[in-house]
Structure 1
Amino acid sequence: MKSSSSVTSSHTMYESDNDQDYPLYTMSSAKTTHNLHQSVLVIGSGAAGLVTAQTLITDGFTNVHIFSKDSHPGGVWEHNKVYSGVFINNLYGDYRFSSMEMPRHPSRDPTNNRLSAEDMQFYFEKFTETYLRDRISYETEVLNIRRPQPPFDSDPPNWIVKYRKKGSKGTREMGFHRIILCTGGCHKPRIPSAFSPSAVKASGFLGPVIHSSEFRAKLDTIFAAVQPSDHHRSMQPNSRPDPYLPNPPSAEDHGAGSNSDDHDGGGVVVVIGGGKSAQDIAGFLANEGHHRNVCMIYEKTDAFVASTTQLSSRIRRSRILGVLSPHSELRTPLERFLHKTWLGSRTVRGIFDMASSYSFKSFQIPPDSPLRLSQEPFWSLRVNDEVCRRGNSFHVLVNEGKILIEAPAKAVEFGEDGRSIVLNDGRVIRADAIVLATGYESSWTDLFDVQTINQVGLGKYPPQYVSLDAYDQEWKGYMSLKNPPPAPAVNQQWMSCIYRGIVPARSILKRDLAINGAVFSTNNGYVFETTAHWISSYFLEDSFLQLPAGIKEAVQSTERTSAWLRRRYPDMLHWTNESHSSDIQFWSWPQYTDDLLRDMGLRHGKARTGGNALTWLFKPIEVEVIKDLTKERAALRMQSA
């Protein structure tokens, strides 16, 4: 490959300050073979990237590349990020793709039905070995993606990708006709300014401050900084051990950099955040941390659903939860009854409230427990599936006093002694190490400069064709959406202008950029695979794929979606990032994938997933029902040829 001053083809590049998004040369419309031989780059080797690349290759694309910053496949479940005790919001075998069953991990407990992080890592490595061997360039970091600048050669690439191989001194560039962003929303850490590296240095804090994304890699650093506590395991529930009392020991008591625990029975790891990552990390430290004290600070924690026994797949994997959660389109009489009538809405909200109450009861969580400071399942995207009670799970450990909770509270700054943090109410909490489970920023901002983001349409934008209240009347009749939680300012809730959550509306006619893995849902395997087929048909210019007639129509569609999401999740959109919220189909993933199948002219709804007028609602949706989408699309292609 050539140096960073050129691309690997013979195309000459020129620098220009002109910010116009230059039109591409006209492709041979509907010439499938022409499109199949054009180069495609998939960025990311997580679940979405792997199934997208496999789908394209199965469809006949001959020039598919995957660039991955990681050293192994799996994304958030990559080999170097996984640690024991982390369970996914699925049962074993649920999160997979139709082309491959989930092989059993050699060390897996056969009596455990929960799906673990190790299971996911093992599955994606097997999937890659089976379908994508030699297709992935690991330890390859994409630094910038841009349009080529004119004047062009006769056949320019649509995109120029600047990248760096790990261990390489220089950067390289390569041209591609099409790009698929599969970088997800858990790539770039969000670190509050009060706990940034510069703030750590200025405060003189003596311990490590680590973002949750680096937790697995820096476990040894945490354990070296925090000494074990002999008495920690014998604490009574709700007791306050010495390390958490106000007036923590000063730096002089410890000596600079010392980890002495002579007077307090051990050090303290403070986990800031209340989401699933924070819970997993706190649980791991309490279970595996050799008796280290763990303190967790949050304003609100994630909601969860659980029961004393495992729920049937007729509830877990059917359409029932999607139907109970209002969708922007109510296509069945049952949905219209549930969400547009007083009785139906009372039923819906009552079921969600009952599920939350029963979940607390199944874990025996006291009424005054800080675990009750959780999101509302009906209105929230932060809902975890605990399946059923486990003896060493996060909630059990909190009940037993093995994880101390400070809530509602917010950590605002470091203490003056180099061994503490200050809460918003003025209290001081001992901290020998800090883990920031504070979420992530968009993974796209590091790949594109601001100019290109705006050219392509990947940013967050206010409505361009309608007023903010243009759709207020459309969903006014949804009785189930009465009495919502307070919403932040509207300008904090503007959504990405991404059609179907897959294609930037401003670039939809170019057919050279798509996204997979940015739609927020509770069934990623099914959603990612269906989306991959939609993308393949989009790149192939399949005549049966229904698309907006033009850019304006596409943008208007995204503006309507944004208006719906502001109504459906008023308190959620301010914390999501663009690369993890191109659309939100949390409970309603069956309706969303039906829309994608409908776009492709394929069977959808109960015609695909099975069931009759009496059973369709509780019919488990198996991933096998989309196993033949490639053949079905090929048949439609033949018919339209």
Structure 2
Amino acid sequence: METVDLVVIGTGWHGLVAAKTYLEVNPLADVVVLEAESSIGGVWAKHRLYHGLKSNNLLGTYEYSDFPMDPATFGVKPGEHIPGEVVQAYFEKYVEHFGFGDKIRLNSKVTSSEHQTDGSWLLTIAKSEGGSRSLLTRKLIVATGMTSQAFLPEFQGQESFQAPLFHCRDFLKYEKEVLQDGKRATIFGGTKSAWDAAYACATSGLQVDWVIRESGHGPTWMAPPFVTPLKKWLEKLVTTRFLTWFSPCIWGDADGYEGIRKFYHETWAGRKVVDAFWAILADDVIQLNGYDKDPETKKLKPWVDAFWIASSLSILNYPTDFFDYVRNGTIKVHIADITHLSANAVHLSTEEILPSDFLICSTGWKSTPPLKFLPEGIDVQLGLPWSTDPLDQDLVKRADEEILKRFPRLRDQPTTNPKYKPLSDNAEAAAPHPFRLARFMVPPSLIKERSIAFLGIAMTIDTAILAQTQALWATAYFNDKLSIVPTIKNPAGKDTAAADDYVSDLEWETALHTEFGKWRYPGGFGRRNPDFVFDAIPYVDMLLRDLGLKVHRKNGMIAEMFDPYGPEDYRGLIDEWKCVHE
């Protein structure tokens, strides 16, 4: 049986940079990268690139620091969103440039991973031609992210629908059949992918009926690329350190500005300033989009204040005005539930019947990784959200109390939709607790073994920066050159970093970090996984501190406060770490 040093599962943003980083630090290591599909890219794999799909990010913020997406090579100009096929080509060139294409095995779906007594992992891999094979790895990185397995609800009467019914993930598969002038589309869901599908259909000459659940979370926040009265680049706003201080963050002190954060979030005057900031930001988006100027566009006005949402904040990345299609009736928005389907018809709770040539579901993703972990019961040790909570519930309760003590603003949670109900009992919202992972990557129960890491569990619009920092952190962790024993005040009130208190302190910090999401981002996915926007740079700061690297990377205090961070600020990070630790 084949035995290797490291297996990386997944070839999206996190999987590719994880493999490249590990090989750069360990050039003689035997590394294998497994990909279930026939092309690399994850979300940007070839089979998912339907008509008009683009990144939310503009050129310059969606790239690894050591491989810039230059306009001459990739044909994207500054100020433009990046077409999906360009992102995919970027990944291909990244692999070619760093020379690890021979490590990647396509059409290799991992169906199970069994923990061995020596800490290694025995993988079962399904072959595309049928059957399976085994592979033993000493270290394992699961980089399948949060958008691998589509969640497709079942509808009463769907067997009689007599038309294509599919998840937006599979749009390309049906594209030629459905994007035909004169057809009628029904789109279900309020997420960014629903906006994308509606735009693709409307611009192809279709009449669109867009159904947003009356019993759901409502339409997502959609912002122009440039916001505030000063028309600042949104992606740069969220990485400007001065502005990150306006977001309460349990790991925020990692940025070194504890006093400023205490003022903003632990004093009455500071919280008033914070509330004013968020009100101005939200009102600017509402005014720019003109939600209240038309009864139809008003239906797309978010139901939850911007303060409470995270990576579900999305950007209007369309070449023409999306709202024109709503105002002129090409896209008709229905706030209703789907009660059942019949032949080429979608029936709504408002008693409307929508003639439909197909139904596209933008209904999210399953929280479970697309593989089974063995032996039975190890899901608890791994801290996976559909298992029994591995943390002591008294510890969790104390973590909740600490969070609300430090951030009183979070006590005033947003009013929930009184009609809300999950799409089904096994929808992603049904997870009984969040991923319980230290630094959102590693299970505390296996910390001394250093054999497994989950990358890409954290959701943020700063994907590239986060991915490369997590990759270096995981590499250092596997090489036993990283200490994450936190010097903090543990539940017993003892300030310590002593080895004897290693597990309890680590569990306390894990409880704080993982519980924080449910209080900070109830309008996002905070109850299930780390989901943040303005908190991404402080998170990177925390990882850099673990790695023994410089946190403040700007030239001077003014620049540190007001110049936004980007991939370029982290160029050479691996060499920096090697100089310190080798």
Tell me, what secondary structure is at the counterpart of 2:60?
Answer: coil
1:507 shift after superposition: 1.3
Pairing partner for 1:569 from 503, 521, 527: 521
Residue number in structure 1 paired with 2:349 = 424
- Conservation of the 8 A alpha-carbon contact between 2:484 and 2:546: yes
Distance 1:343 1:464, change over 3 A: same
Unaligned runs of 5+ in 1: 1-6, 10-37, 150-155, 230-266
- Conservation of the 8 A alpha-carbon contact between 2:148 and 2:370: no
Matching residue's letter, 1:630: I
Q: Select between 178-187 and 107-116 the one with higher mean Cα deviation.
A: 107-116
Tell me, what secondary structure is at the counterpart of 1:520?
Answer: coil
Tell me, what secondary structure is at the counterpart of 1:378?
Answer: helix
Q: Select between 213-222 and 496-505 the one with higher mean Cα deviation.
A: 213-222
Pairing partner for 2:578 from 613, 621, 634: 634
- Are positions 1:505 and 2:447 aligned together? no
- Are positions 1:160 and 2:105 aligned together? no
> What does residue range 432-581 of structure 1 map to in structure 2 within 5 Å?
432-444=357-369, 446-448=371-373, 450-460=376-386, 461-462=388-389, 463-464=391-392, 466=394, 468-474=396-402, 475-481=404-410, 483-486=412-415, 494-542=433-481, 546=485, 549=499, 550-573=502-525, 581=529
Residue number in structure 2 paired with 1:16 = none
Residue number in structure 2 paired with 1:318 = 240
- Are positions 1:340 and 2:266 aligned together? yes
Name segments (4+ residues, structure 1) moved above 6 Å: 487-491
Distance (Å, rounded) in 2 between the aligned partners of 1:376 and 1:544: 38
Sequence identity, in percent? 22
- Are positions 1:293 and 2:216 aligned together? no
Kindly provide the CA deviation profile for residues 206-240 of structure 1, in whole angstroms up to 9, marking residues without a partner as x.
101011111112212324xxx633xxxxxxxxxxx
1:275 shift after superposition: 0.3
Matching residue's letter, 1:565: G
1:316 shift after superposition: 5.1
Residue number in structure 2 paired with 1:222 = 178
Pairing partner for 1:200 from 145, 155, 158: 158
Distance 1:430 1:103, change over 3 A: same
Tell me the TM-score normalised to structure 2 length: 0.85
Pairing partner for 1:617 from 552, 556, 561: 561
Distance 1:395 1:506, change over 3 A: farther
Q: RMSD value over aligned CA atoms?
A: 2.8
Tell me, what secondary structure is at the counterpart of 1:471?
Answer: helix
Residue number in structure 2 paired with 1:394 = 322
Matching residue's letter, 1:622: G
Matching residue's letter, 1:209: L
> What does residue range 46-61 of structure 1 map to in structure 2 within 5 Å?
46-61=12-27
Tell me the TM-score normalised to structure 1 length: 0.78
Distance (Å, rounded) in 2 between the aligned partners of 1:83 and 1:106: 22
1:493 shift after superposition: 5.6
Distance (Å, rounded) in 1 between the aligned partners of 2:514 and 2:483: 27
Tell me, what secondary structure is at the counterpart of 1:177?
Answer: strand
Distance 1:492 1:210, change over 3 A: closer
- Conservation of the 8 A alpha-carbon contact between 2:482 and 2:547: no
1:502 shift after superposition: 0.7
Pairing partner for 1:147 from 104, 115, 119: 115
Relative to its length, the structure with more helix (as a share) is 2
- Conservation of the 8 A alpha-carbon contact between 1:187 and 1:440: yes
Distance 1:143 1:470, change over 3 A: same
- Conservation of the 8 A alpha-carbon contact between 1:103 and 1:123: no
Tell me, what secondary structure is at the counterpart of 2:313?
Answer: strand
Tell me, what secondary structure is at the counterpart of 2:173?
Answer: coil
- Conservation of the 8 A alpha-carbon contact between 1:497 and 1:558: yes
Pairing partner for 2:70 from 94, 103, 119: 103
Distance 1:360 1:188, change over 3 A: same
Distance (Å, rounded) in 1 between the aligned partners of 2:396 and 2:566: 39
Matching residue's letter, 1:304: M
1:329 shift after superposition: 4.2
User: How many residue pairs are counted as aligned between the two chains?
Assistant: 538
Residue number in structure 2 paired with 1:18 = none
Kindly provide the CA deviation profile for residues 510-567 of structure 1, in whole angstroms up to 9, marking residues without a partner as x.
1110111111222111111111111011110015565785444333322222332222
Residue number in structure 2 paired with 1:63 = 30
1:570 shift after superposition: 3.1
1:405 shift after superposition: 0.7
Distance (Å, rounded) in 2 between the aligned partners of 1:471 and 1:507: 21
Tell me, what secondary structure is at the counterpart of 1:218?
Answer: helix
* Higher Rg of the two aligned structures: 1
Residue number in structure 1 paired with 2:339 = 412
Distance (Å, rounded) in 1 between the aligned partners of 2:303 and 2:83: 24
Matching residue's letter, 1:414: L
Residue number in structure 1 paired with 2:220 = 302
- Conservation of the 8 A alpha-carbon contact between 1:40 and 1:65: yes
Matching residue's letter, 2:353: V
Distance (Å, rounded) in 2 between the aligned partners of 1:454 and 1:359: 42
Q: Select between 368-377 and 134-143 the one with higher mean Cα deviation.
A: 368-377
